[in-house]
Structures are given as structure tokens and as C-alpha cells.
Chain A
Amino acid sequence: MNLVREIDFGTPASKSEKLVTLTIDGREITVPEGTSIMRAAMEAGIEVPKLCASDMMEAFGSCRLCLVEIEGRAGMPASCTTPVAAGISVSTQTQRLKDVRRGVMELYISDHPLDCLTCAANGDCELQDMAGAVGLRDVRYGYDGANHVKARNNGEINRQWAPKDESNPYFTFDPSKCIVCSRCVRACEEVQGTFALTISGRGFDSHVSAGMNEDFVSSECVSCGACVQACPTATLTEKSVIEIGQPEHSVVTTCAYCGVGCSFKAEMRGEELVRMVPWKDGQANRGHSCVKGRFAYGYSNHKDRILNPMIREKITDPWREVTWEEAFAHVASEFRRIQYQYGRDSVGGITSSRCTNEETYLVQKLVRAGFGNNNVDTCARVCHSPTGYGLNQTFGTSAGTQNFDSVEHTDVAIIIGANPTDGHPVFASRLKKRLREGAKLIVIDPRRIDLVRSAHVEASYHLPLKPGTNVAILTAMAHVIVTEGLANEAFIRERCDWSEYEDWAAFVAEPYHSPEATEVYTGVPAELVRGAARLYATDGNGAIYYGLGVTEHSQGSTTVMAIANLAMVTGNIGRPGVGVNPLRGQNNVQGSCDMGSFPHELPGYRHISDDATRETFEKLWGVTLNNEPGLRIPNMLDAAVDGTFKGIYIQGEDILQSDPDTKHVAAGLAAMECVVVQDLFLNETANYAHVFLPGSTFLEKDGTFTNAERRINRVRRVMRPKNGYADWEVTQKLAQAMGLSWNYGHPSEIMDEIAATTPTFAMVSYDYLDKMGSVQWPCNEKAPLGSPIMHVDGFVRGKGKFIRTEYVATDEKSGPRFPLLLTTGRILSHYNVGAQTRRTENVVWHPEDRLEIHPHDAEQRGIRDGDWVRLASRSGETTLRALITDRVAPGVVYTTFHHPSTQANVITTDFSDWATNCPEYKVTAVQVTPSNGPSDWQRDYDEQARQSRRIAGKLEAAE
């Protein structure tokens, strides 16, 4: 194995279709118009020396190292900033060029420390490389004069020198090594879009600084690492590289955090991970990443990680470590006993959106073929099940319609119920780039998310609606489009069912759907709604991106349909730049849904009652499948409380922390006789478990994840599983213990089975993925290269279906006892329930969950910023500290749910989406009052958690 080396072409590729031919060093080359001479040379295999250029950003032309000569033109233009022209003849190496380059390098080196041997960048330093490339042999100037290298000059304090900034937990900034090439500044602006870095001062005084001369961690910096990746020297360097040294091989794999699905090179030394570097060929992220994927992998070595299987009789007993064989035999006999005693339907399983497609597939197969029922569900239930339902009804398939590249062609983006800069940071960076190019933005969210106004980005409209009124707003927008004659009738006649459209159009045109009529309960001024609707309908390619703020409502499915209606009525479907794009929370939400994790459908979204589909699997698996839908997670818990559901196998999910109404979940789990949890850590659900099976990380297994654009990305093993088995092996061994004759030697064989049974995956195999990098399903004979954009020539279901979307107020209403509405969300540095990120240095950015409250509501209650407050709903209460901000409107409060001690879900109720039972996390009526410490529930809970984490023979884990 080798390091995957990526070619840096120096400047971004030109998108022009016109070609130009020129000669470089006597070689003829043809490139698109607008390409730089530097890039053209590199494509011809000639590397022009460079320092300030990189193909991740626009050329800047400051270092003067990349000069070339052009026949018939005077001077020496910089090849990075000079575009090609037809017929020119370029020389990259002449005596004059050599002399100038050496002179430039000599100046750089004369103000640079010469400690190359002990420098962290040794082996990966472009400054060193360039000194070598230009043949620099000696440096005539010493450090006696002005320099940035020495803290003291002849005993005097050197004001040009600055100390290292080590405030960021993941990288250091050593100004003494900076050559002021400004690649970091431009990466932060152009790639990340945060504008945290600047070059201050001029000439010899110029230097890089974060924020207003702050340290990195106090600045606007979001620690994405783009600047570290861009820096040609050791100035910005990963701390892991400083500690370990340079990597010797690398493997391309996929981030296991969010639904963007960034591709990374895992750079290794032996089995030690040195660093993660975003892969430029990664088609979702194009060489960029966020702090989680790049840096927050330390949890895989965390001391809390459990590496041995454990059993206990009662959940009040301490855990007892056992062998894998004992654990498997125990689970098999318990599940058999329970099924014998309480019936076949008394057990079930939960698949994980964090695990691979192959692992998810195996868990649902174990439930259907091994347990003989369809009681399988996934954590996607609590986030995107309404997407599946809504898009299936309207378009005919349960998936987003675009790839991420599509945003480069968008003219108007609507973001509703999502906070991409925190939840989907790499997508946010790509969107911001497009906004800086002039695209318009409409934000529909109760809270003023960062995108509404941040560096060089300003939304044209922010519709700060009352939580729970999405359907009313979207239907009002449809009202404006239909009644103002902005509907795209040509598209609708061709692609949709016309009579259904007419029915729908008449429905939305009713005066009670107008923005003026709905303003009363949405709280959004009618003019804003009208303006936003007009902009979306008329300003070119319109794309809608949405998140959990749409789905996690009692009308989640209706909202998804309303979004689909808007896209159809404006003809914004079936080409680049448009579409309906669910932003998936966890890495493999899409995949876990695709793989048949829902109780009513087999892989590929085929209903369990469909005889032909069942037959396909029955033949292959040699069993008869039950044709009745099974229980969903909330139904399983209800059945457990009723005494008819007794055993559950939970792979990689923490339902106690992630599902609503914690007390109800706890009661359900406590009523079961055998709860099996497979995870990296003793998560909250494990407090109620009888068997714990240790899990493996994404670094330790092979498989695939499917991201929010339906892209199937490979996950590649870079080290052996610390717990002994990859998760798919654990499920397989469990199945074998239950008497199933599974015999997969490698996850690729599982994928082959998926491809053989699921038409949308027909051409997918590991060989094919290795060849293609990644593909977007459907990938079959009809679409051998995969499908970046769906519904291109027609909807999957045939004709697009308009569905009436009547607003129904949630029953969760604020009133005298609970006058405020709570809505929940997430922040950048943490992920879901935080089990992984809380076990990394990311805690420096978010040590606790805080309650955001408007100054007006805070003042009324005598609450000051930072005070402890009691947050109570009709379900329960908790305490946390207040953060006073006008990001939330009066009457609305907001919190995240990353820390178990906060227990935000003690507060949320058991209301759920009418169609899918997706919980209504986004609206809970609450009261907030001053408090002086943790609630009784928090104290009891902590005590119970502490008790239940005891392991016999081990000291209590001090968490």
C-alpha cells in the first residue's frame, strides 16, 4: 500500500466547453478555454514551481515562483494567473526564469527557520520541495536583520515574531514558519466560506491572523481544517502529525458522521491513524470536510470503549464479561425461549443509520428470516421516515432528487427546517459559495440560523414561522404561486396528473390559505410569504433543501408532500440546480432506509405484502416470509408496556437518548426480558440491557454508506477491530447461533446479495465501486453510471401526484401552564446524541447543552444569561443553563440534545407524525423558570446510570 498522492493542478478546472491548443516546452496540449497555463502544463505532465497556488482555490499570483516565458511576449507572466491562448508557445524553464526563481526562494528561505530535520512537515513541505526544485544551494542573508524567525534579535524583543497558537485542540499555528502565501486565508474564504482569517499589515509586516487578532479557538474559526490542508509549510499543522510523524500509506474511506458522506484519505502509519484528509475526488465533498470528519475520530481509542461482550441477569446487576461464544449462545437461547413463551412476534430488532448498508441488511434479514416476523425498524424512524412516505406518495420513490454538485446550478435555494452550517457543514460551504456567486436564499425557520446572515451571505427572505406551522406556510406559498399565475403549466401538463393538479390548485387557491389569512397563526407577515413565493417561482432554478425541522412534526409527512407540490408546480424537478433535497442527519440514514429496515418493506422500498418481492427473498433465504407489516419502534415500546413484546436486538442505536419521551422508552425497555445492545460504548439504552455486544468503528470494517444524494460510498478497513469482530460479523455469528446457515466471508458478498435482489442496486458491487469511486442509485442496466439526478424524463411513479395539504394545528399547544414552544436542533461540533463527539476534543466548542431564550421572555422570568433554569413540559422536566439571544423569537426556546445529562427528551412528548410515527421533536409546549440545580429525574437518572454501568471486577468507570 502507498500513500494516495493527489495531483495539485495549481488552479481549478475551467468549466468552458471551448477548447484551446497551445504548446508548452514543445509539447502540444489542448485544454478548455480559461485554463491557466500552470494547469495546462500540469495536465501535460510539466510541474511549474509554485507556492501560492492550489487547485482548491482561485489563483492569487503573489509568490512569483511560477513565472514562465511566452514566445513573442515581453516579461515573465505568472503561469497561475495567466490563462492559455490559442497557438502560444510557453517555456517553463529558461536561464532567466531559473535565476529569478532562485532569487525568490532565497528571500523566502532567509526569513524561515532552518530546522527542517525536526520540523513536523518534513516529508510533506512544499517550501522544501520548491527549494529543491529551483536548485537553491545557498542563502546569502542571515537572521541578523529583520525577520519573523527569532523571538529575540541581539537580545532585543523581536516585534515581528509571534508565538505558536496551540489553542485549537487539533492543529497548531506557528507564525515563524509562515511565508504569507495566503492559501489559508483563501481556503477559509473560498472553500469553507467562514472568513475567519485575514492578512494584516503590509509588505514585510504582513502576517496571518485569526479573527481580530484572536487565538484560533476564540475566533470565528469552525475548525474545518481547510487552511491546514492548504498550508504549504508547517505553519498550520495537525497536532497528530506533530505527535506521530508523516504517514506511510493511506486508504480512501467515508466519514461516519453525517449524511453529506465526505470521502477521506485515512493516512496511516501501520495501524495508527495519523490524520484524515478529505479526498479531492470525493464527489460529495470535493476535497473539503468539517471538524467532525477530519478531526473527531479520537473516540475510537477512548477508554470508555467496551471491548468484551457482557451479560447480566437483571439490569440492577453489575455486568459480567463473557466470551463471544457465551454471549451468542445466551442471546440465541433467550430469544428462542421468549418466542416459545410469548409467541413469534414478541421479539424484534433495530438497525442503525450509523452502521453500513451490509450490516443493516443483515439485521433486517436476521429479524425476517431468523425471528420469523417483521419487527424491524431503524433510527431513521425518528428523523426521516416522513421523507420516505411523502416523496413516495408524490414522486414514487423515497429519496432526494439531486446530487450535491447540483447546487452549483441553483438560482434560488429554499432552506426549511435545516441548519446546514451546523448539521451539514460541507454542503453549507458549497451552498455559500453559490450564494456568493449571486444565487438567492430563502430561509424558513423559527430560529435565525447562521445562513440568514453571516460573512458575505444574506438571505433574501427569512420567514420566522411559529414552530409547527410549516404546512400552513408552504400551502400559503402555493396559494401565491397558483393565484398569481406563476404555475409552470407546461411542465405540469407534461409530467403530472392534470386532474389531480386542478383539484390541488383549487384547494390551495381557497382564500383561507392566503398568506394574509395564515399570518395569524404562522406569525409570518404576509408580504414576506408572497415575496418568497414569487422569488422561488420566477427566479430561475429553484431548489428546496430541508431537514428535521420539516419531518419531526405531527404533520411531517404532509410537509414533505407540500414541498414536493411546490417543486412540481414550479417545474423545479428533473435537471441540475433544482429538486427536493432532504438533508439526512446521520451518515447512513438513506442507506438504512434503502436496506429494508422498515417493518413494512423489504430492501428497495418494496412492500412486504408484495408476493413477487417476498418470493425473491424466500427463494434465496430458504424461508417463508411473513406478509404482515411488523411493529415500528414506538409500537414496539407500546407493545412492551402491554406485555406482548419481550426481546430486542439493537445495533448501534441509543433509543433511550434519541427517542422522544424518555420515560416511556425507559418503561418499555424495563418491561422486556432480553435487551441486547451492540455499540461502542455503554450508551444510555445499555442501562436497560441484559446483553452488551461490543461494536466496531468505521475504521475497523469494510462496507458502504449511502449519503443524502443516494451516493453509495465505500468504507474501507484501515485497522483490525479492537473488539475482535466487525459489526456484520457479530450479526452473522448471532444468526449462526440461532441456527441460520449464513456464511459470508466478506461484506462484498453481502452487497452482491443486495444487488441480486434489489433492482435499484443491480449493478452495484465492490469491484464496480472501486472502479467508479462511487455511484448514486438507481444503478442498473437502465442507468449503468448511476443516477445523479432523478425523475429526469418522468417521475418514477409515472405522473407526479399533487396532494392536498391541509394545515392541522398540532395538539401540542402552548397555554397558561406551558406558555413557550420548545424546538430542538444540533450544532456543528457534535453529532446526534454525542456518544462519539463527546469523547473527543470537540467538547471545547460545546461543553453542555444550553437553552436559547429571547431577552424579553428571559427578563419576564428574571433569568440572566448563564443562569440555571428549569425546563418543564407535561412529560417531564430537566435543568440546563440559559443562553439569552434574539436568534429565537419571543415565545420560542431552543436547545440541542447532545449531552445525556440534559435529557432534552424527558421534555419532548409522544406526539408523532400521523403517517409514520416520526416523533414531534420540534414542538413542545414548555415553561421555563429559574432553578438552582439538577432536577430529581436527572439525579435519579444519573444514579441509575452509574449503578447500571458497573462491571464486575472492574473499578467503576468515572465518566
Chain B
Amino acid sequence: MSENTNAKLIYMANQIATFFQSQPAQEAAQGVATHINKYWERRMRRKLFEHIEAGGEGLNPLVIEAAAKIRKPEAA
């Protein structure tokens, strides 16, 4: 897996979190999760989970909070 695309994924997840952070607090985590569930392909979600399991460095805490609600793809 390339470092570069991983960095991109983190960046994208954080961008999504930044938007939902500005929304009413009770909707924020669900908003991030719904968005990622709706638009992220399995490979992308799988990588996100791998990264979270590896400590989630660089991820906005809202993404980590939302992870519980993100559909986890089966392993490749």
C-alpha cells in the first residue's frame, strides 16, 4: 500500500470531519459515518480501518468516533 494514497485518505476523512464538526454536535459523528458509508468504496474503507487499528495517527478524533458507525468491509 502506498504511503501517499494513505495520506490522501486521511486527508479526505479529515475534510469530511471538518464539515460535520460545524454541524449540531449530536449529528456530527453520524454525519461522518453516513457520508463515508454512502460514498467510499470498500478498499477505501478497509484502508481507513487498517489505519485506525494501527493507531489512527493524523485522523480527526471525530473520524475515530464515527468509525463505530462505519460499515466495516470484510478483509480482502
Contact = CB atoms under 8 A, between A and B. Distances in A.
Please determine whether chains A and B interact with each other in the same assembly. Answer: yes
Interface of A: 345, 374-375, 503, 554, 557-558, 599-600, 607, 609, 628-632, 635, 638-639, 641-642, 644, 803-806, 808, 910, 912, 914-917
B42 A808 contact: no
Contacts of B42: 345, 628
Given A503-B24, A804-B23, A917-B12, A629 B41 contact: yes
B59 to A, nearest CB: 15
Nearest to A644: B43
B53 to A, nearest CB: 18
A609 B16 CA distance: 21
Contact of B16 (A607, A639, A642, A915): A915
Contacts of A609: 37-38
A804 B22 contact: yes
Contacts of A630: 41
Contacts of A641: 2, 4-5
A558 B23 CA distance: 12
A915 B19 contact: yes
A599 B44 CA distance: 13
Given A642-B2, A804-B23, A910 B41 contact: no
Contacts of A642: 1-2, 5
Interface in B1-27: 1-2, 4-5, 8, 12, 15-16, 18-19, 22-24
30 contacts: A345-B41, A345-B42, A554-B15, A557-B19, A599-B41, A600-B39, A609-B38, A628-B42, A628-B73, A629-B38, A629-B39, A629-B40, A629-B41, A631-B43, A631-B44, A635-B41, A635-B44, A638-B8, A642-B1, A642-B5, A804-B23, A806-B19, A808-B18, A914-B12, A914-B15, A914-B16, A914-B18, A915-B16, A915-B35, A916-B39
Interface in B51-71: none
A387 to B, nearest CB: 15
A915 B42 CA distance: 17
Nearest to A807: B22
A631 B23 contact: no
Given A910-B8, A917-B12, A639 B43 contact: yes
A27 B33 CA distance: 72
B35 to A, nearest CB: 7
Nearest first, the 10 closest Cβ-Cβ pairs linking A and B are: A806-B22, A914-B15, A638-B5, A631-B41, A642-B2, A914-B19, A642-B5, A804-B22, A628-B42, A600-B39
A638 B2 CA distance: 9
- Chain B, interface SS category: helix
B54 to A, nearest CB: 17
Nearest to A917: B12
A648 B36 CA distance: 24
A282 to B, nearest CB: 37
B2 A558 contact: no
Contacts, number: 63
A607 B34 CA distance: 12
Contacts of B19: 557-558, 806, 808, 914-915
Contacts of A554: 15
B8 to A, nearest CB: 6
Nearest to B16: A914
Contacts of A915: 16, 19, 35, 39
Contacts of B18: 808, 914
Contacts of B24: 503, 804
A631 B44 CA distance: 9
A631 B35 CA distance: 14
A912 B1 CA distance: 22
Contact of B43 (A345, A503, A558, A806): A345
Counting chain A CB atoms within 10 Å of each CB, the highest count among B1, B4, B39 belongs to B39
Given A631-B43, A642-B2, A803 B12 contact: no
A632 B18 CA distance: 21
A629 B23 CA distance: 25
Nearest to B5: A638
A639 B76 CA distance: 14
Contacts of A631: 41, 43-44
A899 to B, nearest CB: 29
A644 B43 CA distance: 9
Contacts of A910: 8
A622 B16 CA distance: 37
Contacts of B5: 638-639, 641-642
A635 B12 CA distance: 11
Nearest to A639: B43
A554 B16 CA distance: 11
Contact of B23 (A345, A638, A803, A916): A803
A503 B26 CA distance: 13
A644 B16 CA distance: 25
Contacts of A803: 23
Nearest to A608: B38
A179 to B, nearest CB: 62
A628 B35 contact: no
Contacts of B1: 642
Nearest to A555: B19
B44 to A, nearest CB: 6
A92 to B, nearest CB: 66
Nearest to B71: A628
Contacts of A806: 19, 22
Nearest to A634: B8
A811 to B, nearest CB: 8
Contact of B38 (A607, A805, A917): A607
A541 B23 CA distance: 30
B41 to A, nearest CB: 5
A761 B35 CA distance: 27
Q: Which of B5, B18, B19, B22 has its CB near the most chain A CB atoms (within 10 A)?
A: B19
B41 A628 contact: yes
B43 to A, nearest CB: 6
Nearest to B44: A635
A957 to B, nearest CB: 36
A910 B35 CA distance: 21
A631 B24 CA distance: 30
A609 B71 CA distance: 12
Contacts of B8: 638, 910
A609 B41 CA distance: 12
A642 B23 CA distance: 34
A701 B50 CA distance: 48
Nearest to B21: A806
Give the most central of A345, A629, A641, A912: most B CB within 10 Å.
Answer: A629
A915 B17 CA distance: 10
Nearest to B14: A914
Interface centre among B23, B35, B41 (most CB of A within 10 A): B41
Given A806-B22, A917-B12, A600 B43 contact: no
Contacts of A558: 19
Contacts of B22: 804-806
B4 to A, nearest CB: 7
A497 to B, nearest CB: 12
A632 B43 CA distance: 12
Nearest to A640: B5
A916 B1 CA distance: 23
B68 to A, nearest CB: 19
A805 B42 CA distance: 29
A317 B23 CA distance: 54
Nearest to B18: A808
Contacts of A375: 41
B1 to A, nearest CB: 6
A372 to B, nearest CB: 14
A805 B40 CA distance: 23
B57 to A, nearest CB: 18
A345 B1 CA distance: 16
A307 B58 CA distance: 51
Nearest to B4: A641
Contacts of A599: 41
Given A607-B38, A642-B2, A914-B16, 12 more contacts: A375-B41, A628-B41, A628-B73, A629-B38, A635-B41, A639-B43, A641-B4, A641-B5, A804-B24, A914-B19, A915-B19, A917-B12
